[in-house]
Amino acid sequence: MRATRRGALPSDIESFTLKNTPGHLLRRCHQRSEELFTAALGTDGPTRQQVALLVTVCQHPEASQAELVELTGIDKNTLAQMVRRLTERGLLERRRTAEDGRTNAISATRAAVKLLEQSMPAVKNVQKQILAAVPPELRETFQHCLRLIAGIEEE
């Protein structure tokens, strides 16, 4: 079935400008970020989510999986799978806490720290590339607005 002629559309469809919709723009930004990250670290390197989790675990040793969900924004099922896979690869260690035998404390291994040390120059360069399109005087405001949209509290 062919779409109707232009001008014959309901006004809310006619006036809708995709390139001005926040959801579409955020998806496109996410896509661009993913492309830059993959180009910099390759398909064999750690993913953006793996880097986020490994950095967070390094900065918060012995954090529980629930705490890591809160700190990274990765949903609990995805995070549990990531912890399992990264543990199998020798990048994370899991142990039951003394306070609550149902809770795992997650720690980074030396191999994780080494991987991050090797990856961080490229990761930081990708962040610079992402912000390069934003005029320098607007970058702080831009990042503030992203945190607001993401629902991340200012520190």
How many domains does one find in the chain? 1
Alpha-carbon dihedral sign for residues 51, 55, 58, 62: negative
- Exposed/middle/buried for 50, CB within 10 Å: 0-12, 13-18, 19+? buried
Q: Which amino acid is at 26?
A: L
Alpha carbon 14 to chain centroid distance? 34
Q: Which amino acid is at 149?
A: I
- Is 90 contained in some domain? yes
- Is 133 contained in some domain? yes
Q: Look up the pTM and report it.
A: 0.85
**Mean pLDDT of the 55-74 span:** 95
- Does the pLDDT of residue 72 top 70, yes or no? yes
Residue 25, C-beta contacts closer than 8 angstroms, at least 6 positions apart: 19
CA distance 49 to 41: 13
- Determine contact, residues 123/51, Cβ cutoff 8 Å: yes
Q: For the chain, give the longest Cα–Cα distance.
A: 68
Residue 87, C-beta contacts closer than 8 angstroms, at least 6 positions apart: 93, 94
- Does the pLDDT of residue 5 top 90, yes or no? no
- Is 6 contained in some domain? no
- The β-bridge partners of 106 are 63, 94
What local confidence, expressed as pLDDT, does residue 96 receive?
Answer: 84
- Is 5 contained in some domain? no
CA distance 19 to 34: 19
- Is 71 contained in some domain? yes
- Is 12 contained in some domain? no
What local confidence, expressed as pLDDT, does residue 68 receive?
Answer: 97
- Is 97 contained in some domain? yes
- Is 1 contained in some domain? no
CATH number of 135's domain:
1.10.10.10
Query: What single DSSP character describes residue 137?
Result: G
128: containing domain: 19-150
**Mean pLDDT of the 86-104 span:** 87
- 33-59 pLDDT, tens digit per residue, is 999 999 999 999 999 999 999 999 999
- Does the pLDDT of residue 155 top 70, yes or no? no
